[in-house]
Structure formats: C-alpha cells, structure tokens
Structure 1
C-alpha cells in the first residue's frame, strides 16, 4: 500500500520536529500545502495579503525574483525566491509576472492554468522553516520556488 501525500508531508514535518524544530500549526500548514499560498495566508491571518517584489531580473528566458508576502498591516509572512521558466508558460502569464503586481499563485489562478505542485524539500534554517517546490504546467517545470515561513507559530503566533 502506498502512503498518501498527507502522510508523507506529516512524516517530513515530524522529522523536523524530532530534530528540534518548534513549529506552530500555521507553519505546518504552510509547509505542506500545495494550493495558492496567498489564499491560505489570507485565511490564516484574516487579512488581505500584499505581494512586495523586492527584486526581479530576467535572463535567457528565466525570470528570477524575490518577494515578501505581508499582511495588510505590513507584517512579513513569507519570503519567496522564484525562478520562472518563461518558455513553459503562456505569454499572458509571463507578462503578468513581469509587471510585478501579482504573486505567482494569483497569476496562475487568474489565468485558469491547471498545474501540479511537488514539494521537493522541507527544512529549518536558523530557526526559520522553509520549503522548496516545483510547479509543473503541461508536464514541464514552469516554476521553482523556495519559501521561508516568517509567520510566527506556536504561543503568540497563529
């Protein structure tokens, strides 16, 4: 019998906790979720989420960018570093990302793209939980993303 994805994610999170990571419920949800991060954050915080593109460059058909997702009050929640493989996406989606106004999840959703996300790594670095994952579109890697979860978990956090 094969494990379902939920069990696989649970085992990875339990392994991090055995190694000493102190993760709150919201951090665990964000490590394991495979939907739109902005939507999950909005629900967890009860706040609209702002996408602040702190750097973005494009070279040889690959957009590299760093964003910080914040609450409406400006609290940093997620720092994401992304690579966008333009040749594997519709031009309209690439253009939305180039404009620096939308998060990747929102750009995908607004275009109605059917995608698949695969989490490739979870960990904790200097006390900050992170994950890396790929988003596939039509069987090709369209995005590679590393997210650091700045949202505090446990007592006093969500």
Structure 2
C-alpha cells in the first residue's frame, strides 16, 4: 500500500494546529533543505550531534538551522553498501564524516538521481534531549520518516522532527 501524504496530513490537521508550511514540509517528496531556505530566506547550516558507522551503516543525528534558529532535528541511517560504485561510496562517506552538509546538498553535489518515499507522517511526543536541541517547550511535534531511493535500493532512511511553527 502506498502512503498518501495528503490524507494523513489532513487527518493530523484536524487534531493538531498544523500550519500550511508544516503541511508542505511533512508531505514533500523534494528537498526539505531547499524548502526551509525559501521559507526562512537564508542558508541552512548543519550542526552534527552524533555520527558513527556500525557494520557499514552510517548513523547521523543533526540539527538544521538558519542562523541561530534550530528548525529540524534529523536522523539518518545510511547503509553504505547500497552505493554500488566504490568511488562514489567513498566520496559520499567522506562528505558525511568530514563536513556539516545537509543530505539534500550531498545528493546534489554528487548529481545523484534519487526519489523520496515517505513511510510515516505523524505528530507525536519527542524526547527531552531533542526538545533542548530544538529549543522548544512543545512536547509533541510534527515529524516524518522517508527513504531516499537510488537505483531501486534504499540509499538512506531519514527521520525529521520539525520545530518551525514558532518561527513562521
């Protein structure tokens, strides 16, 4: 069964105060980085919270910010073996490990033709540590999980927790 973002977002908006911009971010199958830069008229910067490679899978947690404003807490799980080309795999791995670059920009830098497949859209409670990173008292926030598909394989699994409503 294919997830229909508009249906889920419509149901969530009946229960929670979702702004139109939040609905767009939850439902887009394009670059969140690009949308945030348009909405907030600035360049996204990334602050890496943690990163490790376990059994060939890169795990990364970051905060996406514009200036000093934390907008998104994001985690990614990247099974590096799914990048078949060894040179490309090493280059992407280097970019992930050595620089605070948003994943959307890494994909663009390497000219990868990918698609995003949303697997979950929700509005739920977040841990206190994430609330601190996002500088919010709100206990429940809009969030989503999606896969980035490259050549028929899951290249990355991304979860994004949004805290943009206070800043629009």
Q: Deviations over 1:60-81 (max 9, x none)?
A: 1101010000112x11101001
Task: Say which is worse superposed, 83-92 or 128-137, in terms of deviation.
Answer: 83-92
TM-score, normalised on structure 1? 0.88
Q: Which segments of 5 or more consecutive residues in structure 2 lack a partner in the other structure?
A: 126-139
**Residue 132, structure 1, aligned to residue 132, structure 2:** no
Aligned-pair distance for 1:38? 1.1
What residue number does 1:146 align with? 159
**Residue 79, structure 1, aligned to residue 73, structure 2:** yes
Q: Which segments of 5 or more consecutive residues in structure 1 lack a partner in the other structure?
A: none
- Which of 17, 26, 41 aligns to 1:46? It is 41
Q: Hey, what's the Cα distance between the residues in 2 that align with 1:100 and 1:63?
A: 14
**Residue 16, structure 1, aligned to residue 29, structure 2:** no
Contact kept? 2:5, 2:121, Cα under 8 Å? no
Aligned residues: 148
Runs of 4+ in 1 over 4 A off after TM superposition: none
**Alignment root-mean-square deviation, CA:** 1.6
More helix by percentage = 2
